[in-house]
Structure 1
């Protein structure tokens, strides 16, 4: 089969001829190549125009692994059966599709022993919904098969860290058999479908239930179909899954040349997608999920209180690479409106367009955002419409968006309540984890995971409110009214020590950074109510979506961050790079002039991001250059945090510098880490408390 390259953009060939770019409502027909796709060899290639070589188009290594895997089975099945503590690179690539990553704990390496291998497992929770039974199982697995903690992700899922290879199968089996799934949580495939998680009753706020239901249906529509998942983890045992007839009908519909006829994977074929693919569904006025950062962003459209259809956006994505200007974050572009009966077909058409035309030679260029950037929105829409069999209509009008947190006590609208628990950077551990388990088990509560890494306890009888409040408070869970406004909307990725891409701290570093930002703001006279969205990642891949934040920290070296400014509080404006190589030790010196100028020149109600865009980066840099530091700091406003029981407060750190690093023996570090996790505090605070206790009598 010959590969094709588009004269005006990028073209991929997956065994069938893509639709021609005819105007109007042209409909593509399945070609004879499509009917042979399941039997013949697949040549999935893509090249940018003008870069042909004698050797012809090339594919990335991962494309070869996928093609030879028998739909994600081999060599993963064989590798899992070996006594080695790790799996091969080929198997690790396939493991992603099944829901996880092979990782190396850099802080547990022994001298001369090489990497300390373990595995991360990520679940799929459409709209963040977690049945009571699954929550209890995940909590148990964290203790018996993980590292004792549960992590809530920025895409409304769980991550379980620290699983040893010998425990992998048992861990997956426990999830699958208790109403959970991990299939497609990672890899070149549709990931977890997000949706605004507020558990309003359908009678009270129907748009939320509609969005959450669509998230589940789209997850089903784009789920792998070959059965490899059950072959790998359940040794071929099949579990019954329930899908809507409309979902099955859309998946199997090949009127417009979208499917591989006769293939175990009618939508994906042997090659699946060029890279990861993300979908988010929101409701009018609620941008809690950051919906324009997805490959497909969808907003429910209501008219006179009735659901009529959806606005569709495409081409969002956060990933980029330092010093590579061909990579960049991008917000999704408006594509158009579809009636509610057409949304499955619209999503399938967009996914198939990306499948057939997305780059497969260069993985850094293979996301949908680069295809739309290369083609332009109109060409992309034209091709997608042929796969859909209809044209998009103009977008429906929507109200202004805000970003709710869902913290605290709220009425569901059906006589019950929900309670939004703030979880610092999504890491559940120690006494807080035990207390949450206790109330969830006691009252058989279902749970929702939010896009801000928090937890919603749902379906609460008002009579239970006092007991739940008391139980959580006793474990150090901070009430919503006591959370610092900066902490409420800040996020960080896991980063060090487990993520192989991380080059500096994020999850472990952000709590201290937030405190220092607050102290600096207080020093220049900003009120304690002043807040903005802060996000931090340990590398430029953007898992915590820092490029939408009002203040984004992106790791660019050990203890060093690139600073992004200009995202706005409604998450509808892309931030821009402001400074490189800002050292963690110099944050006060760097930000004090900025916060002072913000206080001096902001208008009433203006947020940091809006202010930065109004005054411009040049003016902010000038303010940094000409700033004269305040003579003496003002006392910092109190910052709400879960205190470490029986531990004295850490010694104050000068605003102009940080404490030096100290090396400790491995057993001492592990004891310190265990203490910090048990008491839900940071390593810095735990170490400081221990030293003060030790030296108190000297």
Structure 2
């Protein structure tokens, strides 16, 4: 199968990867998924369907803790699905929450709800026989999982700042519009999961094309000065620009992304590049232009180099920018001034400008489950029953109870404290994050979520030893190099390489605009703690006033800054 893409030298010539065959022959994402649902011999999906279900928001997984035991018993792996909801901007009602809580309790293997740093939630452990029921449950509460995985625009993130609720509402509406505008148009989702009758018309994908995008695509809308969505991890970013409090337009940044492959020097992380400013009424035109360019010019011969960041570097920023202007009918103005000061969530009660209150709860690892003496999941259900407003999920795996009226406030706080949802945690713990990793992620090379709490306890002890227990370092642990925990935007990043072994990266900054550099390769967690003890001691003794750890690591020469990731990330 030869590559007959669009624009000659702007397109990578060569043999298409097999993922392109799967998409082309899928009949607009239908494949033979329905037949697989009726196959009770296996709990998984066969052949191409293993990939196609991802377009519908699901990944096939198995419990890796049980693999060896089941293999010894000559049993198949215990296949189950992870489903990720489409929730642009992370807003969910209390009624919707109660429905997903009920489903997780009754029809998942683990009984948990996992808040993700894609500002949505995931179910883990859905058996194949329950898949149609989960999609129908979501449909009944006006939600879905379409386009939350594989080669499409993923869940659209936006700032969840309760102090600027009017502006947040406006950018949230744009997040929803972008999400809807860029969704797949195929009726496959409705036919397969909602039992909708097949309409005898030809499917058309006017934006994504019949073979969709070359790779996943991620979008954010950001309200400065808070970069809580980590915009530089994303392909397309809109930075809100205001005049006298009113939204006038956006700065566009393109080409962020963090996924790499160990030892593959053709892969690298990249921060997003500034394209310029445009007026607010051109948002959808710009979004469509950028996505269609990546559709047409992205690399379909090598998935490791198929993300927008590689397309931008290959064709050049000026050529890419000119094509966005041509397709969108826009002439970019110079980038308007903006500044980031934070990217973490602000916990506790914050009053919005509409005179309602917002309570941000710290959810370690985003995992809502009933633990011993901390029944977090039950507590969230009790809050949902008591609160008539919305919840906002954050891109840092936390949850905001938003729009709380004055008379509700004491009761909401009482419930939160009673169930362990409001407790004193260090700034260090609040600014640390991990991906899911073992036991369910098939890509995991090392532990992440399960070891983060104890690892942070050790870091807290080091911080206390040197008298800075109230300070913090942005720290992320990822079980593999695919970037889910955004470790390559951290001051300290640990990326799994093998069971119990990690590459240690240093030198990102607190606002998420700098990529760290590798400091030690293939270290154990214990060895990394010894290394970090010495470096934190050095930081405390020699830091400038309020200097962050990552800035100190660069200034003192512990690591050299990454100036051009395509050329010096691996040096």
TM-score, structure 1 length as denominator?
0.76
Partner of residue 101 from structure 2, selected from 130, 139, 156:
139
**Does the CA contact (< 8 Å) of 2:185 and 2:203 recur in 1?**
no
> Counterparts in 2 of 1:51-62, with a 5 A limit?
57-62=14-19
**Structure 2 residue 537 is matched with structure 1 residue 596:** yes
Q: Distance in 2 between matches of 1:577 and 1:366?
A: 24
What does residue 417 of structure 1 align with? 357
Deviation at 1:375, TM superposition (A): 1.8
Q: Distance in 2 between matches of 1:300 and 1:385?
A: 19
What does residue 662 of structure 1 align with? none
Where 2:65 maps in the other structure, the secondary structure is helix
Which deviates more from structure 2 when the two are superposed, residues 413-422 or residues 229-238?
Answer: 229-238
> Counterparts in 2 of 1:483-502, with a 5 A limit?
483-502=425-444
What does residue 157 of structure 1 align with? 120
Where 1:466 maps in the other structure, the secondary structure is helix
Deviation at 1:107, TM superposition (A): 1.4
**Structure 2 residue 34 is matched with structure 1 residue 93:** no
Q: Distance in 2 between matches of 1:2 and 1:289?
A: 36
Q: Distance in 1 between matches of 2:112 and 2:345?
A: 23
Q: Distance in 2 between matches of 1:443 and 1:263?
A: 42
**Does the CA contact (< 8 Å) of 1:207 and 1:300 recur in 2?**
no
Deviation at 1:568, TM superposition (A): 0.5
> Counterparts in 2 of 1:342-357, with a 5 A limit?
342-357=282-297
Structure 2: gaps (5+ residues): 562-571
**Structure 2 residue 418 is matched with structure 1 residue 474:** yes
**Does the CA contact (< 8 Å) of 2:95 and 2:384 recur in 1?**
no
Q: Distance in 2 between matches of 1:559 and 1:97?
A: 32
What does residue 514 of structure 1 align with? 456
**Does the CA contact (< 8 Å) of 2:37 and 2:128 recur in 1?**
yes
Partner of residue 130 from structure 1, selected from 83, 89, 92:
92
**Does the CA contact (< 8 Å) of 2:386 and 2:412 recur in 1?**
no
Where 1:382 maps in the other structure, the secondary structure is helix
Which deviates more from structure 2 when the two are superposed, residues 401-410 or residues 219-228?
Answer: 401-410
What does residue 439 of structure 1 align with? 383
Where 1:225 maps in the other structure, the secondary structure is coil
Write out the 4+ residue segments of structure 1 that deviate beyond 6 Å after TM superposition: none
What does residue 504 of structure 2 align with? 563
Deviation by residue 1:447-477 (Cα, 9 ceiling, x = unmatched): 1100010011112122222222222222222
What does residue 462 of structure 1 align with? 406
What does residue 79 of structure 1 align with? 36
Where 2:48 maps in the other structure, the secondary structure is helix
Q: Distance in 1 between matches of 2:414 and 2:282?
A: 48
Which deviates more from structure 2 when the two are superposed, residues 157-166 or residues 512-521?
Answer: 512-521
1:137 to 1:618, Cα distance in 2 relative to 1, 3 A: closer
**Structure 2 residue 272 is matched with structure 1 residue 328:** no
Q: Distance in 2 between matches of 1:438 and 1:566?
A: 42
Where 1:590 maps in the other structure, the secondary structure is helix
**Does the CA contact (< 8 Å) of 1:263 and 1:269 recur in 2?**
no
Deviation at 1:311, TM superposition (A): 0.4
1:404 to 1:500, Cα distance in 2 relative to 1, 3 A: closer
Q: Distance in 2 between matches of 1:207 and 1:445?
A: 18
**Does the CA contact (< 8 Å) of 1:192 and 1:279 recur in 2?**
yes
Where 1:337 maps in the other structure, the secondary structure is strand
> Counterparts in 2 of 1:579-618, with a 5 A limit?
579-617=520-558
Deviation at 1:2, TM superposition (A): 7.6
What does residue 569 of structure 2 align with? none
Partner of residue 182 from structure 2, selected from 222, 245, 255:
222
Deviation by residue 1:309-346 (Cα, 9 ceiling, x = unmatched): 11000001111100101111111100111111111111
Deviation at 1:75, TM superposition (A): 1.5
Q: Distance in 2 between matches of 1:226 and 1:467?
A: 45
**Does the CA contact (< 8 Å) of 2:94 and 2:387 recur in 1?**
no
Q: Distance in 2 between matches of 1:206 and 1:464?
A: 21
Partner of residue 27 from structure 2, selected from 70, 92, 99:
70
**Structure 2 residue 50 is matched with structure 1 residue 108:** no
1:548 to 1:65, Cα distance in 2 relative to 1, 3 A: same
Q: Distance in 2 between matches of 1:618 and 1:437?
A: 46
Larger radius of gyration: 1
**Structure 2 residue 191 is matched with structure 1 residue 231:** yes
1:139 to 1:521, Cα distance in 2 relative to 1, 3 A: same
**Does the CA contact (< 8 Å) of 2:6 and 2:297 recur in 1?**
no
Q: Distance in 2 between matches of 1:487 and 1:213?
A: 32
Task: Give the number of aligned pairs.
Answer: 549
What does residue 630 of structure 1 align with? none
What does residue 692 of structure 1 align with? none
Q: Distance in 2 between matches of 1:305 and 1:421?
A: 28
TM-score, structure 2 length as denominator?
0.93
What does residue 568 of structure 2 align with? none
Deviation at 1:445, TM superposition (A): 3.4
Which deviates more from structure 2 when the two are superposed, residues 154-163 or residues 373-382?
Answer: 373-382
**Structure 2 residue 207 is matched with structure 1 residue 207:** no
1:164 to 1:406, Cα distance in 2 relative to 1, 3 A: same
1:271 to 1:130, Cα distance in 2 relative to 1, 3 A: same
Where 1:185 maps in the other structure, the secondary structure is coil
RMSD: 2.0
Deviation at 1:536, TM superposition (A): 0.7
What does residue 286 of structure 1 align with? 226
Q: Distance in 1 between matches of 2:270 and 2:91?
A: 28
**Does the CA contact (< 8 Å) of 1:309 and 1:337 recur in 2?**
yes
Deviation at 1:384, TM superposition (A): 2.0
What does residue 684 of structure 1 align with? none
Deviation at 1:4, TM superposition (A): 5.7
Q: Distance in 2 between matches of 1:297 and 1:334?
A: 9
**Does the CA contact (< 8 Å) of 1:131 and 1:179 recur in 2?**
no
What does residue 552 of structure 1 align with? 493
Which deviates more from structure 2 when the two are superposed, residues 229-238 or residues 302-311?
Answer: 229-238
**Does the CA contact (< 8 Å) of 2:93 and 2:390 recur in 1?**
yes
**Does the CA contact (< 8 Å) of 1:207 and 1:302 recur in 2?**
no
Q: Distance in 2 between matches of 1:400 and 1:328?
A: 24
**Does the CA contact (< 8 Å) of 2:278 and 2:330 recur in 1?**
no
> Counterparts in 2 of 1:306-455, with a 5 A limit?
306-430=246-370, 431-455=375-399
Structure 1: gaps (5+ residues): 12-45, 48-56, 239-261, 621-698
**Does the CA contact (< 8 Å) of 1:418 and 1:459 recur in 2?**
yes
Q: Distance in 2 between matches of 1:286 and 1:90?
A: 41
**Does the CA contact (< 8 Å) of 2:160 and 2:168 recur in 1?**
yes
**Does the CA contact (< 8 Å) of 1:315 and 1:369 recur in 2?**
yes
Deviation by residue 1:512-553 (Cα, 9 ceiling, x = unmatched): 111111112333x13211211111110000101110011111
Deviation at 1:613, TM superposition (A): 1.1
> Counterparts in 2 of 1:602-641, with a 5 A limit?
602-617=543-558
